Amino acid sequence: MIKGGFTVNTLKSSLSFHISLTIIYTETGRANKDEETDMMADPYSILGVTRSASPDEIKSAYRRLARETHPDSKPGDKTAENRFKAVSNAYSLLLNPAKRHKFDAGEIDADGNRRSGSASHSAAHGCKRGTKKARPPRERSSIKARGADVTYVLKVSLLEATVGTQKAVRMTNGKTLKVRIPPKTEDGQTLRLKNQGMSGLGGGPSGDALVEILIETDGTFRADGLDVYSEESVSLPEAMLGAQIQVRTLHGTVRVTVPENSNSGTRLRLKGKGLRRENDTNKPAEKGDHYVTLTVSLPKNGNGALKRFVKKWALKNSYSVRDENLNSNAIE
């Protein structure tokens, strides 16, 4: 008999019960953890696409997630950085038809490494055939394999993509590279940096870094195909009387003529000043145009003399710029 009225048998039963509970909780936790790991290791789940997803659907999902988790958008956020790496690795695997097929067949894992079960399965079938004795596995160091490619999305402005620039980027494998953006780079174009990917196995060559260019719309220029659009402010005298003004384009500043009686919304066309696309044949490069939309700006903080003139002028020169019938159709 133990103090407090507990018997040895009671103590044994209590200990056995607690041990059983510990085992149950441990196994349950391990199962949940394994299930979570499997889900995170599945490139389809990471990108949020089905196993029958097309390459375009995979690319679309990747670009959306890359924007959301890009380290530049959330500096210092380790969770976002790790998520971005996982998204990039999943995209790199599923974008490669051979790797995707091997992953679907269970031959490689989400990191592109050969599954141990695949090798033993082949060895077992070789033994059944009985044609040759199974050779002992070679040392890991004697196996040479090319490293995996890594992917990255690089955001640039329309001006940078047109005239070219150089940017430093931190890749998903930890490397920092200087990437030269050549002139006339297009949105969605992929630059390949040889041997800048993951290191090879057993002295094998490194993979490549694939940098996809994403052209962001800034407040100055907007592109539609090869044509470029921008806005330019003009003063009231320039709009009414006409003038020569300087206009910014992707190819530098040019001088254009503002015709008399221009208004907000008046569009000027600068032929051949848009984007350019080189042809593979001997044909000349395609050139887009630059369209400048004028915006009439009145003097800041008003102008007493101008107000007095307009009041006097409006008494004898009133005119309408809206559809007067709109008032009769207004909802009360």
pLDDT tens-digit profile of 70-111?
Answer: 666 666 777 877 787 788 788 888 888 888 888 888 888 887
Classify 212 in phi/psi space as left (phi over 0), alpha (psi -120 to 50) or beta. beta
Mean pLDDT of 192-201: 82
Does the domain made of 146-217 have the CATH classification 2.60.260.20? yes
pLDDT at 61: 85
Local confidence band at 251 (pLDDT 50, 70, 90 cut-offs): confident
- Find the angle CA(110)-CA(113)-CA(118) to the nearest 5 degrees: 100
pLDDT surpassing 90 at residue 241: yes
Mean pLDDT of 147-160: 84
SS3 36: helix
Question: What is the maximal distance between C-alpha atoms in the chain?
Answer: 117
Local confidence band at 330 (pLDDT 50, 70, 90 cut-offs): low
pLDDT surpassing 80 at residue 13: no
pLDDT at 265: 94
CA distance 24 to 22: 5
Share of the chain above pLDDT 70, in %: 72
Query: Residue 179 belongs to what H/E stretch?
Result: strand 176-181
- Find the angle CA(294)-CA(296)-CA(300) to the nearest 5 degrees: 140
pLDDT surpassing 60 at residue 233: yes
Q: Which CATH architecture has domain 222-315?
A: Sandwich (2.60)
Local confidence band at 120 (pLDDT 50, 70, 90 cut-offs): very low
pLDDT surpassing 90 at residue 220: no
Contact assessment for residue 123 and residue 63, using Cβ atoms and an 8 Å cutoff: no
Q: Is 47 exposed, middle or buried (0-12, 13-18, 19+ CB in 10 A)?
A: buried
pLDDT at 22: 43
Long-range contacts of 171-176 (CB under 8 A, 24+ apart): 171/196, 171/209, 172/84, 172/85, 172/88, 172/89, 173/197, 173/198, 175/209
pLDDT surpassing 50 at residue 164: yes
Mean pLDDT of 209-236: 87
Local confidence band at 123 (pLDDT 50, 70, 90 cut-offs): very low
Classify 14 in phi/psi space as left (phi over 0), alpha (psi -120 to 50) or beta. alpha
